Amino acid sequence: MAFAMLILAISLALAAGNADAASQVPAMFVFGDSLVDPGNNNNLKTLAKANFYPNGIDFPAGVTGRFCNGGTVADHLGNLLGLPLIPRFSDLSTNGSKILQGVNYASAAAGILDDTGKLFGDLFSMDEQIQNYQKTHEELKLELRSINGGVVEDFLRKSLFFVCTGSNDYLNNYLFPLSTKPLKYTINAFHESVIQQFTRQLKSLYDLGGRKFLVAGLGPLGCIPSQIGSSSKNLSACVETTNEISSQYNAKLKMAIRELNDNLAGAHFLYWDIYTPTFEIIRNPTRYGFKYAHKACCGGGRSKGQILCLPLLPFECQDRSQFVFWDPYHPTDAFNAIVAQQAYQGKLQSKDPMNVQQLIQL
């Protein structure tokens, strides 16, 4: 019941735009994939877009391009920080004063590696997202100077940089059917390649003014409906080999984050272990108010994980709050609300800062 009340309160705040809450950070800049994409792919030539019903069925703004029935984890985290919905970079109106509380650059199907997700069509890879942020960086200089002579370095030092990427480098690259990557790389060598690229990208954001970073690891990818539905195993069991790959990557990312903190002056990188809380919710769904942990709310095929959520499919899940997963790949608004709260005030690591609330106070 407590979790249900929490979700209701957060949803109501999102619906109201959180207009009365004081912002705890000047801005939040979001980078990543479809888990946090607010619609940046809407006008691209790509199959990786969600600007159609029933996506957004529970979102105050309706259909926006979010791969969710409601808000993404970035939306919920921003709400907890007292920020309005962060505008998408690809919206032509995202300029001037609209960039002063942050910009979201995330792109569905994108990954850390440049070739990830390209089979779906156009997208903004992580490197391209950083290039887009560079444009915002220049605009911020002019905007802050025109308002009060503000210095962009001070503004960015107090802002939050949220990076949520990596899933597609495995699901839609190394593990994708007919992929040639396993012929070229052992899984360990592939991990090293991804981590090396990602470390360079995080350093680039640091060089462009970022100082407070929340960096999400991979969830238990073997537990998403797409993996379960395509597996020969029973429909109530995660694919352990895929989960092991997630765990291996996370261990290497955690080590890389530690090195960044040690080597970059003034940097505060907070590693978010999203794997553990997600696996806990999937293993004990009723404890968190869920009924269905292994099948999607919207989709088709086994576990509704083999066909994407499309308008032409029968839409049968009337109570979306009972589902952990909205579609074959993405969680529901209810799930996003819970884990965003955990990131904000939970315990993400054993030493300070342990959560986002503590990170932004540094």
HEC-encoded secondary structure of 199-232: HHHHHHHHHCCCCEEEEECCCCHHHCHHHHHHCC
Of 196, 163, 361, which Cα lies nearest the Cα of 271? Answer: 163
Q: Is the pLDDT of residue 113 over 60?
A: yes
Distance CA 189, CA 120 (A): 25
Average pLDDT over residues 176-189: 95
d(CA 102, CA 90): 13
pLDDT, residue 298, reads 96
Span 188-214, mean pLDDT? 98
Q: Give residue 20's pLDDT.
A: 44
* CA angle, residues 143, 149, 152, in degrees to nearest 5: 60
Is the pLDDT score of 317 beyond 70?
Answer: yes
**Could you tell me the pLDDT band of residue 350, with boundaries at 50, 70 and 90?**
confident
User: Is residue 10's pLDDT more than 60?
Assistant: no
Spatial separation of the C-alpha atoms in residues 59 and 15, rounded to whole Å: 8
Predicted confidence at residue 14, as pLDDT, reads: 56
Q: How far is CA 309 from the centre of its chain?
A: 19
CA distance 209 to 253: 22
**pLDDT greater than 50 at residue 197:** yes
Gap between the Cα atoms of 361 and 341, Å rounded: 17
115-149 confidence digits (pLDDT tens) = 999 999 999 999 999 999 999 999 999 999 877 66
| Average confidence (pLDDT) over 97-103 | 96
Identify the band that residue 13 occupies on the pLDDT scale cut at 50, 70 and 90: low
Average pLDDT estimate for 57-79: 98
pLDDT category at 1 given cuts 50, 70, 90 is very low
Asked whether the predicted pLDDT for residue 67 surpasses 50, the reply is yes
What band does 4 get if pLDDT is binned at 50, 70 and 90?
Answer: very low
**Residue 232: its pLDDT value, please?**
65
Check if the beta carbon of residue 117 is closer than 8 Å to that of residue 48. Answer: yes
- Average pLDDT score over residue span 280-299: 96
pLDDT surpasses 80 at 6: no
Position 202 pLDDT exceeds 70: yes
Q: What is the CATH number of domain 2-359?
A: 3.40.50.1110
pLDDT for position 132 = 98
pLDDT digits (tens, 9 = 90+) for 19-46: 445 899 999 999 999 999 999 999 999 9
Please tell me the number of Cα atoms within 13 Å of 339 on its side-chain side: 27
Rounded CA-CA distance 47/69 in Å is 19
State the Cα–Cα distance between residues 77 and 29, nearest whole angstrom: 12
Q: What is the pTM of this model?
A: 0.94
Helices (H), the chain: 2-16, 73-80, 126-148, 152-158, 167-169, 181-184, 187-207, 225-230, 240-263, 275-283, 333-345, 356-359
Mean pLDDT of the residues in the chain: 93
Q: What is the CA radius of gyration of the chain?
A: 19
Torsion, Cα 116 120 121 123, to 10 degrees, reads -50
Between 8-12, 182-186, 202-206, 260-264, the lowest mean confidence (pLDDT) is in 8-12
Residue whose entry in the numeric block shows the structure tokens 């269905």: 292
Locate the domains of the chain by residue range.
Answer: 2-359
With bands split at pLDDT 50, 70 and 90, how would you rate the model's confidence at 16? very low
Q: What are phi and psi for residue 171, nearest 5 degrees?
A: -65, -40
User: By the 8 A CB rule, do 308 and 241 touch?
Assistant: no
- pLDDT band for position 65 (50/70/90)? very high
Is residue 3 predicted with pLDDT exceeding 50?
no
- The SS3 of residue 334 is helix
pLDDT digits (tens, 9 = 90+) for 262-280: 999 999 999 999 999 999 9
Kindly report the number of other CB atoms within 10 A of residue 195's CB atom.
Answer: 17
Structure tokens at 188: 């360990």
3-class DSSP assignment, residue 97: helix
What does the pLDDT read at residue 18?
52
Answer yes or no: is pLDDT of 76 > 70: yes
Q: Is 37 left (phi over 0), alpha (psi -120 to 50) or beta?
A: beta
To which residue do tokens 């994407």 refer? 308
For the annotated catalytic residues, the residue numbers are 34, 327, 330
Q: What average pLDDT does this structure show over 285-312? A: 94
Residue 51 · residue 126 · CB < 8 Å: no
